[in-house]
Amino acid sequence: MGLKVELKPGERFILGECLVTNGDQRTRLLIEGHSPILREKDIMTKAQADTPAKRIYLVVQLMYTSPDPAVHHPTYFSLMHDLVQAAPSAWPYIVEVSNHILANEMYKALKSAKALIAYEKELIDNASRGESVRAGRPTNRKPA
């Protein structure tokens, strides 16, 4: 069973090691096989990756699209170490991402990294809003 991709005019996506750009009309594609596929909305560029969690997303994305993912492991662990030092409670998210990488399920790892970005945003927003939200915080925490 292949993957169905519906593209808007001019929409781009990554297929394996190629960038595919749609022409000027809507297109429906059926893709079969094992190459990495990344929709435009899921792609994080170097410039967009400006927070610790977004950088982790970027490196997972590099692993997903790279022919040799192991090259990116040291960078991944360095970023992960930074993040855990700064925000230990993000651990359950990091573990989830790592487990998917370990199982070679890179697309799932990307999904979990997206959840990590959301969690990071929550923490940063809370910190900028001040102490008042402290009481409500821990309920949102995921179990490990």
- Applying CB under 8 A, among 80, 106, 109, 116 the residue interacting with other proteins is 80
- For every residue of 14-39, DSSP letters joined together read EETTEEEE--SS-EEEEE-SS--EEE
Q: 3 has which bridge partners?
A: 31
- Applying CB under 8 A, among 70, 114, 115, 116 the residue interacting with other proteins is 70
Residue whose C-alpha is closest to residue 56's, from 116, 144, 121? 116
Of all helices (H) and strands (E), which one includes residue 4? strand 3-7
Q: Segment 23-62, which members bind other proteins (CB under 8 A)?
A: 43, 45-47, 49-52, 55, 58-59, 61-62
Cα separation, 57 vs 117, whole angstroms: 8
Nearest CB to other proteins, comparing residues 58 and 113: 58
By the rule CB under 8 A, 99 interacts with other proteins: yes
Q: 21 has which bridge partners?
A: 12
Binding site for other proteins (CB under 8 A): 12, 14, 16-19, 43, 45-47, 49-52, 55, 58-59, 61-62, 65-66, 70-73, 75, 77-92, 94-95, 98-99, 101-105, 120, 123-128, 130-131, 134, 137-138, 141, 143-144
